[in-house]
Structure 1
Amino acid sequence: MSRGKLIFITGGARSGKSSFAEKIAAKTSKKVVYIATGKPLDEEMAFRIKKHREKRLNTWKTYEEPIKVRELVSRLGFEKEVILIDCLTLLTSNLLLRKEDEVEDSSWQEEILVEIKKLAEISYKVPAQVIIVSNEVGMGLVPDNPLGRVYRDILGRANSIIANKADEVFVMVSGIPLKIKG
């Protein structure tokens, strides 16, 4: 069984990452699995999740999984044609905040990155095409608190792990996809 393609799409907030990922997925197959990692922790996030649900094609199977994404890819990557993970940004945040009191512990940070490496490996190996969306958060202001700085650094490293493993990498700038790898 041959492996699929791993596509990574990154960019700033509201830059069109999800829409672009959805277009790639829809062009590739009608059998798309959408793994949504967001958790409705407040009213604004609940509204965003609702909007994302409404615009997704109803032929797509959606899994709302904030933590065990690798396990889903491992299982579904041999059954489905396309898996879209939206997004690595929230997955990383969810992993980080599972042990909020240990956020500044470097061994906990490394555990998170090991999980991201495992996700990259399985996403690269499965026969399905896997599309991973993430935010590029390291190009803006330096966060004014330790948690924000730790998160920015971990997500930057997580993005690098996925990008290095990916067959294709796109950066979204003002709604325009720029292919930088593949």
Structure 2
Amino acid sequence: MKRLFDLSVAVVAAVFLAIPFLMVMLAVRLTSPGPALYWSDRVGRHNRIFRMPKFRSMRIDTPAVATHLLSDPDQWLTPIGSFLRKSSLDELPQLWSILKGDMSLVGPRPALFNQHDLIALRTEAGVHTLVPGLTGWAQVNGRDELPIPQKVQLDTQYLQQRSFLFDLRILWMTAVKVLARDGVSH
């Protein structure tokens, strides 16, 4: 049922957001050199690596590390990068990953391939058995501001309590947080 729900919502969202998607693509291309999409290697279910697209909010020469590990993340942002991140518009291309089955609407956010501490803690807690999500329980409870052990604790709570109604609650909370731009860094 979860996969059918994911597919249905992703298809409807893709159709509904087609024009904004094209507008953001064009804005990224016009404001900085390089492609509109950035494909990053992420850790999926059972720690399998997959390629996840995002609208590019950082310059093409940015090191491939989590944003919080950069000494001055703002220096790497494109002219519209901050807006894309604060509005979460940079996440729209992940609908492709949902359609493909690499991601779900709700689950733990996919770790970067080089976030070894996060990957190890999730594996130890059994969270690696879940399909990663566009949003998740940790996302709505702190997003970028949470330390890794606390993220894993919340991911573990999701693993233990997951249900269709819990997913709907997380999706609702996500919409509220995105509209309020709550917990977004850079």
What TM-score bracket applies, with the shorter chain setting the length? 0.3 to 0.5
Q: TM-score, normalised by structure 1?
A: 0.36
Q: Which has the higher helix share?
A: 2
Relative contact order higher in (CA < 8 Å, ≥ 6 apart):
1
TM-score by length of 2: 0.35
